[in-house]
Amino acid sequence: MISITNLTKRFGDSTIFSGLDLTINHGEIVVVIGPSGTGKSTLLRCINVLEHADSGQITIGETHFDSTQPRQADILALRRKTGFVFQNYALFAHLTAQQNIAEGLITVKGWKKEAAYLRAQQILDDIGLGDKGGHYPAALSGGQQQRVGIGRAMALDAELLLFDEPTSALDPEWVGEVLTLMQKLATRHQTMLVVTHEMQFAREVADRVIFMADGEFVEQGTPDQIFTQPHDPRLKKFLNKVGIQQGSLHSSSQNV
């Protein structure tokens, strides 16, 4: 189980969010939707300690992290439990696809190179890129780069995978292959927290959808509850903006 308690983040005098609480069960897929600038990506970055929260506690399994006492050992322990998939791929340009996936195993988990490269190749095979291991990111399409990014997160066998709008930087023709891979992970009961603007993906894959606005969790429930029976006026306005009529799901999947 993953537990986030009283998480607060400020930038200067601006409070991004305050007192957020969230519990995610093992194997659960939670999708966060909402307008831009409400703190969704910052939330993910605080969970992975890419950003330091001002207060709050994060517990993943037996690993506990207190944001008010950010000890390096605790940060590393938390990151061993999480995998992060960035919206802009964030691959190392000077490393091949295989090396990008193996890097975390070597530096985070202390694997020897031979074993890490073998595991990386197994993952490349699994994500449909078995023949691309020797290719550098510049030689891969956007969709292929993002699949490598997901493979890198998969390599760590993390208890929680964090996806920060994984399709937002992709050309439309590459979106489907990334969402298909995420759906594949869902069938394996991989615990995921996903920030996305892909409403159809949220409807089909999520166990729970959270609508976040103004730095708070405004409304949450099953996909059917959120998309067909919204209650908060802010959620209704958001759904109208992305072209979803209450009781249906016909969206252009625009970036919001």
The residue type at 56: G
Q: What is the pLDDT of residue 237?
A: 94
Tokens 């005098």 identify what position? 13
Number of Cβ atoms within 10 Å of the Cβ of 142: 19
Query: Other CB atoms closer than 10 Å to residue 201's CB: what's the count?
Result: 22
Give residue 252's pLDDT.
44
The pLDDT of residue 108 is 84
Q: What burial class does residue 77 get, using C-beta atoms within 10 Å of its C-beta: 0-12 exposed, 13-18 middle, 19+ buried? A: middle
- Which residues in the chain show pLDDT less than 70? 245-256
Which CATH superfamily does the domain covering 2-241 fall into?
P-loop containing nucleotide triphosphate hydrolases (3.40.50.300)
pTM of the model: 0.91
Closest of 223, 142, 135 to residue 177, by C-alpha: 142
Query: 147, 154 in Cβ contact below 8 A?
Result: no
pLDDT computed for residue 247 by the predictor: 56
Per-domain boundaries in the chain = 2-241
CB 87 within 8 A of CB 196: no
CA 200, 201, 205: angle at the middle one, nearest 5?
125
The pLDDT value recorded for residue 246 is: 61
The CA distances from residue 193 to 116, 232, 245, in Å, are 26, 22, 25
What pLDDT is recorded for position 221? 97
- pLDDT the model gives residue 253: 45
